[in-house]
Amino acid sequence: MSGRYRLPGMAIEEPSEAEADAPSADGEAETAEDEGMFEAEPPTDGEETVEEDAVTGEGGAAPIGVKMGSTRTVLARQDGTGVSTSTALTCLATYEDALSGEERVIYGEPAAVEYPDRVRYMLRSGLPEDDENAELAGTFFSEFVDANGVPEDSVVVYAIPTIENEAGLRNLEQVVTGSEIGTAHTRSYPEMLCAAIPAMGDGLEAIEEIFVAVNLGSTNLEACAFRRGEQLSRFATGAVTGNEVDRTIANYVEDETQGRVNIDRTTAREYKEEHASFVDFEPFTDVIQQPGGGSHEFTIEHSVMDAVDEYVDHLVDELANTFLPRLANDYMKTYKLALDNQVVLTGGMTCIPGLADEVEERLSETLDRDVTVVVPDEPVTAAATGAQRIAARLVENDAY
Amino acid sequence: MGGPIDPIEYDTVELRELARRRGDRYLDDGFLWAEPPESLPSLDEVAEHDRPVAWTGSLEERQKPYLHGVPGTEEGRRIAREWVRGLVERAGSGGAVEALAYYESLGWLTETAREEVEDYLLAVDYRSGGSLADLSRADHVESLARTARLARLADADGDEDADADGDGPAPDRGVEEPGTDDPRTDASATDAPGTDPDGPAVSGFEFGTRTE
């Protein structure tokens, strides 16, 4: 067990005050950051290369895959014989240059760290909700692709959540069409399908499969069946989400510490990312500094895993009692074939070690039949990687 | 919606073509072929939509038993035969009989309907062993879907045979959701009953959130 110090967003309170106060929700940065998916590793902007049997785009447009997530945006591109991914927090801040007086833009992790008071997360619900956020998202995306040197002559495939949000899609389209990249071609496909592609093979095997995909997002739970690329029985609910887990953790921490510690949702999300595990969870300690000086150390034994455990129960309940009966009702043959195949879980919550096995066990028990659950090796970058494979095939087949 | 970035309205045929073709060759079972292999399903194949299982009728009109008899149409006979065959495959002939009796006890179908469905045991190979316990929750969901489909067919056709037990199905007979009196609807579901352009205008029945 190891301790650490934290200042922002955490306070030690007298029990009476703790009972009266809800977990802190002040500050745009804090609230907005809660909206995002999470990674097992600390969220740092970075680049990673994975060796793959990549299709070369020599002499043609560059194949690019993009996933613009509520918290992180991921770009996948060909890099030699492999595919490299770049990840950045989907946020933006502006500041005035001290020398020139000009307004400057900073995005990603540096924006969140250096300008926490003014950083903006523009895709809180997964899509830009209004013109202002669409403009911010456009600025962010331009900066992001510029920094990564993405060529304009490119075939870009976007992985997009299939939530019913006409205005949001229109705004996102504004971002996409305003971008300098993708002059050769742009396409978009469901995020769940893109993320399932690397989970089901080295190529585009997933497109020929019949399977159920479930996206465990921070703002939505999405599910559908894919039948040889055809999307069926789309289902989405905001009742079972990663954000709800964060809220529950915050409440449970308050209970577990008898009201002495009140954490915000950002801290709760960090607890989840760093400690939640169905494989090897261990109680952990944290230390907070008291306003009057000194510090208080506390240990969390149950709060994190109780919340995650409940999440899995609710997830299985939604799948077994709402989504799957609906799928059986709509497409009985597909339902039967899909349950014989793998159920693919995607989204940030799948980063929790052992979560897939836990869902598999409980879903099998609830359905009273064996179900196989898989997750992509790299849940955070899977959607962009899958989108890039589609883009690469578009280039290879000269189909754009 | 619609437009170049709408992830719902993507071109399935184009996507399949991308998955199957590499340059001027076709991928199948790990090999590249100069011609499209015949084993590949057609590019424009679409899933069989079973939405017609949705019932019509108001919530008040939904009542058990859901199925009063097997419709005398070819479609009705086919559904009943496939239903029985599926039950026999999973639970044996004895298990299929137990399952139908169980469904009758739940009020899904009348005694007459149960007997009519049982008659289709003669149309499938006998399989010894097995019991009701071999059937999973998913199997029962499937059975409920078939019950719903037959009942809907009976309603649509006004099949006289469906009333053979003399119970007299009410006009526009509907059902209550098994296990709950409050059929749930989910506004977030894009294919909720009543919103599907391919399906009938229905009053909100949605398939079982609970099955015994």
Question: Does A275 have pLDDT greater than 80?
Answer: yes
Asked if B179 contacts B201 with a C-beta cutoff of 8 angstroms, the reply is no
Question: Does A42 have pLDDT greater than 80?
Answer: no
Question: Does A289 have pLDDT greater than 50?
Answer: yes
Tell whether A188 is within 8 A of chain B (Cβ).
Answer: yes
| Residue of B137, B140, B143, B209 to mutate for A, most A C-beta atoms under 10 A | B137
Residue A158's pLDDT is: 94
Residue B4's pLDDT is: 60
Nearest Cα of chain A lies from the Cα of B4 at a distance, in angstroms, of: 7
Question: Does A298 have pLDDT greater than 90?
Answer: yes
| Residue of A164, A192, A207, A228 to mutate for B, most B C-beta atoms under 10 A | A228
Residue that has been written with the tokens 């009966």 in this structure: A325
Residue A22: pLDDT band with limits 50, 70, 90:
very low
> Which chain B residues are closer than 8 Å to A172 by Cβ?
5
Residue A331's pLDDT is: 87
Which of residues A190 and A31 earns the better pLDDT score? A190
CA separation for the pair A14, A19 (Å, rounded): 9
CA separation for the pair A156, A176 (Å, rounded): 10
CA separation for the pair B71, B77 (Å, rounded): 7
CA separation for the pair A287, A289 (Å, rounded): 7
Is the ipTM, as predicted for this complex, more than 0.85?
A: no
Residue of A nearest to B26 (CA): A397
Residue A212's pLDDT is: 97
Nearest Cα of chain A lies from the Cα of B13 at a distance, in angstroms, of: 8
Q: Is B191 in Cβ contact with A233 (below 8 Å)? A: yes
Residue A33's pLDDT is: 36
Q: Is B7 in Cβ contact with A329 (below 8 Å)? A: no
Q: Is A322 in Cβ contact with B184 (below 8 Å)? A: yes
Residue of A nearest to B23 (CA): A397
CA separation for the pair A230, A212 (Å, rounded): 11
Q: pTM of the full predicted structure?
A: 0.68
DSSP string covering A104-115:
EEEEHHHHHHH-
Within A288-354, where are the H helices?
303-318, 324-330, 332-340
Nearest Cα of chain B lies from the Cα of A3 at a distance, in angstroms, of: 43
CA separation for the pair A264, A283 (Å, rounded): 19
Q: Which segments within chain B are labelled E, that is strand?
A: 21-22, 25-28, 31-33
Question: Does A250 have pLDDT greater than 80?
Answer: yes
Q: What is the 3-state secondary structure (H, E, C) of B48-103?
A: CCCHHHCCCCCCCCECCCCECCCCCCHHHHHHHHHHHHHHHHHHHHHHHHHHHHHH
CA separation for the pair A73, A58 (Å, rounded): 26
Q: Is B207 in Cβ contact with A190 (below 8 Å)? A: no
| DSSP 8-state code for residue B134 | G
Tell whether B181 is within 8 A of chain A (Cβ).
Answer: no
Residue of B nearest to A171 (CA): B5
| DSSP 8-state code for residue A91 | E
Nearest Cα of chain A lies from the Cα of B101 at a distance, in angstroms, of: 20
Residue that has been written with the tokens 């129960």 in this structure: A313
Rounded mean pLDDT, A223-234: 94
DSSP string covering A152-221:
SSEEEEEEE-----HHHHHHHHHHHHHSSS-SSEEEEEEHHHHHHHHHS-SSSGGGG-EEEEEEE-SS-E
Which of residues B151 and A310 earns the better pLDDT score? A310
> Which chain B residues are closer than 8 Å to A318 by Cβ?
none
Tell whether A195 is within 8 A of chain B (Cβ).
Answer: no
Q: How far is CA A313 from each of CA A245, A317, A358, rounded to the nearest angstrom? A: 12, 6, 10
> Which chain B residues are closer than 8 Å to A227 by Cβ?
47
Given a cut of 70, the residues of chain B with pLDDT beneath it are: 1-4, 48-63, 157-212
Nearest Cα of chain B lies from the Cα of A102 at a distance, in angstroms, of: 34
> How many alpha carbons lie under 13 Å from residue A234 in its C-beta half-sphere?
21
> Which chain A residues are closer than 8 Å to B32 by Cβ?
none
Residue A193: pLDDT band with limits 50, 70, 90:
very high
Q: What is the CA radius of gyration of chain A?
A: 22
What chain A holds in terms of domains, given with CATH numbers, is: 46-199+378-396 (3.30.420.40)
Rounded mean pLDDT, A356-377: 94
> Which chain B residues are closer than 8 Å to A397 by Cβ?
17-18, 21-23
Query: B210: exposed, middle or buried (C-beta count within 10 Å: 0-12, 13-18, 19+)?
Result: exposed
**Strand order, beta sheet including A154-160:** A46-51, A82-89, A72-79, A62-68, A154-160, A185-190
Nearest Cα neighbor of A254 from A14, A29, A33, A25 is: A14
Residue A59: pLDDT band with limits 50, 70, 90:
low
Residue of B nearest to A395 (CA): B23
Segment 46-75 of chain A within 8 Å of chain B by CB = none
Rounded mean pLDDT, A330-344: 91
Residue A307's pLDDT is: 97
Q: Is A321 in Cβ contact with B210 (below 8 Å)? A: yes
Question: Does A112 have pLDDT greater than 60?
Answer: yes
Q: Is A330 in Cβ contact with B49 (below 8 Å)? A: yes
H-helix or E-strand spanning residue A145: helix A131-147
Q: Is A229 in Cβ contact with B15 (below 8 Å)? A: yes
Segment 235-254 of chain A within 8 Å of chain B by CB = 235-238
Strands A154-160 and A185-190 come out as parallel
Asked if A334 contacts A232 with a C-beta cutoff of 8 angstroms, the reply is yes
Nearest Cα of chain A lies from the Cα of B19 at a distance, in angstroms, of: 6
Non-local CB neighbours of B102 within 8 Å, separated by 6+ positions: B132
Q: Which segments within A217-315 are labelled E, that is strand?
A: 221-227, 230-237, 261-263, 284-289, 295-300
Which of residues A303 and A124 earns the better pLDDT score? A303
Q: Read off φ and ψ for residue A145, nearest 5 degrees.
A: -75, -30
Residue B167's pLDDT is: 40
Residue that has been written with the tokens 């002059």 in this structure: A183
CA separation for the pair A392, A62 (Å, rounded): 8
| DSSP 8-state code for residue A238 | S
Apex A48 CA angle, A43 and A50, nearest 5: 135
- Over residues A341-365, the pLDDT tens digits come to 999 999 889 999 999 999 999 999 9
Segment 32-61 of chain B within 8 Å of chain A by CB = 41, 45-51, 53-54
Rounded mean pLDDT, A316-321: 92
Q: Is B136 in Cβ contact with A189 (below 8 Å)? A: no
The rounded mean pLDDT for chain A is 83
Segment 332-371 of chain A within 8 Å of chain B by CB = 332-336, 339, 366-369
